[in-house]
Amino acid sequence: MKYLVLLTSLLLTACGAAPQQLAVKDRQGIVRAEVTRVGGKKDGPVRFYDADGSLRTAGSYRNDRRHGVWTTVDQYGDTLSILQFSDGRKDGIQAYWASNGRLLRVERFSDGVPNGPLYRFFSDGTPRQLTWYENGETQGPYMEWYKSEPGRLGFIHGAFLHGERDGIWTWAYSNGHLQTQGRYVHGIRMGTWTTWDAHGKELGRVEKGG
């Protein structure tokens, strides 16, 4: 009976543990973080600071794991990222911005893995990549743009099937002319692959696969 009383007392003590606000300082005595702990674990709001005292990142923990919304800002207070977590895993919309305020990346996670569209942009706002995910695997259309010369974008277009390149894939120069085109089957180049120069002249054809 005495063991049952002792166990009950310990459980009640743990459940009733009051949150502790702890300040973490660097060697110069400057507060670099404020952490909430409950029962010896990080649980509750947390804030991280630069050496000048300005807030850099704010979020929260639950049972020693990142949980909820985490936000990071630059030295001017402009948002650099907004991330969402559930028990330590990314879950929900994740967004990142450049220092000039332009959106750089936005994607969706479910239980720690990509699930949905991924959009990436150059720092000037022009598109950079579009990829779709299903439960961590690339699936569906894929588009990527690259800068080969100022103000002009080349592109790559294709599709994924269960994480592997599949179907017709195309590479194009920034002037719009095709560079390379061919077919993938389960990640393997198959059939006729054709290449062109930047002026549209065909350079050659190669047969791939069986």
Tens digit of pLDDT for each residue in 149-171? 777 899 999 999 999 999 999 99
Q: Give 201's contacts (C-beta < 8 A, 6+ positions apart).
A: none
Task: Output DSSP code: residue 198.
Answer: T
Residue with tokens 């020693």: 64
DSSP 3-state of 181: strand
Percent of the chain with pLDDT over 90: 85
For residues 21 and 98, what is the distance between their CA atoms, to the nearest angstrom? 32
Q: How confident is the model at residue 209 (pLDDT cuts 50, 70, 90)?
A: confident
CA dihedral 15, 18, 19, 21 (to 10 degrees): -160
pLDDT digits (tens, 9 = 90+) for 19-69: 899 999 999 999 999 999 998 899 999 999 999 999 999 999 999 999 999
Q: Is the pTM of this model over 0.85?
A: no
Provide the 3-class DSSP secondary structure of residue 122: coil
Whether the CB-CB separation of 106 and 121 falls below 8 Å is answered with no
Residue 7 has pLDDT above 60, yes or no: no
d(C-alpha 145, C-alpha 158), whole Å: 12
- Tens-digit pLDDT profile for residues 56-67: 999 999 999 999
**Average pLDDT estimate for 110-120:** 97
pLDDT at 184: 97
pLDDT tens profile 70-113: 999 999 999 999 999 999 999 999 999 999 999 999 999 999 99
